[in-house]
């Protein structure tokens, strides 16, 4: 009797821990998903990123073609800081670019740039 009680209570913490880890993992994915969605919204929003004025992006309507199509971004720029740099101020890489310096000119906040980069890495 006492033995069976002991083994039940010994198992319970492991079960609780497994539940807690599961809940934590779900919250992590949900959050990652929401920054991607937020980044897509910012990128497509004509009064925010307005990236579609110049770039073809999968899922975006009425794109322009002033800049290159944004495809395979994750393999082209595996390091996220390179994408952050492009969005922050592309004139550092190409002084003649027509791409607006979203970070330097405060068109997007650092947080918004990070969300857009999360989205770009899904392309």
List interacting residues with ligand HEC (CB under 6 A).
43, 49-51, 53-55, 66-68, 70, 73, 76, 83, 86-87, 90, 93-94, 97-100, 102, 116, 120
Residue 23 or 98: which CB sits closer to ligand HEC? 98
Least distance CB 24 / ligand HEC (angstroms): 31
CB 84 within 8 A of CB 94: no
By beta-carbon proximity to ligand HEC, the closer residue of 102 and 118 is: 102
- Whose Cβ is closer to ligand HEC: residue 26's or residue 37's? 37
CB of 35 to ligand HEC, least distance (A): 14
Which residues have C-beta within 8 Å of that of residue 39, sequence separation ≥ 6?
Answer: 114, 115, 116, 117, 118, 119, 120
Give me the least distance between CB of 67 and ligand HEC, in Å please: 3
Cβ closest to ligand HEC, residue 87 vs residue 118: 87
| Cα 45 from Cα 107, distance rounded (Å) | 12
Dist CA 111 CA 108 (whole Å): 8
CA dihedral sign of residues 42, 114, 88, 107: positive
């Amino acid at each position: 009797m006492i033995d069976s009680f002991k083994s039940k209570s010994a198992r319970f913490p492991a079960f609780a821990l497994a539940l807690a880890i599961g809940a934590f993992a779900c919250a992590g994915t949900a959050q990652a998903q929401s920054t991607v969605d937020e980044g897509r919204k910012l990128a497509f929003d004509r009064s925010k990123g307005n990236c579609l004025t110049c770039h073809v992006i999968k899922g975006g309507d009425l794109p322009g073609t002033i800049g290159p199509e944004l495809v395979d971004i994750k393999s082209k720029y595996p390091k996220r800081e390179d994408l952050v740099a492009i969005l922050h101020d592309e004139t550092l890489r190409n002084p003649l670019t027509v791409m607006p310096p979203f970070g330097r000119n405060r068109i997007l906040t650092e947080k918004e740039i990070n969300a857009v980069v999360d989205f770009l890495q899904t392309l």
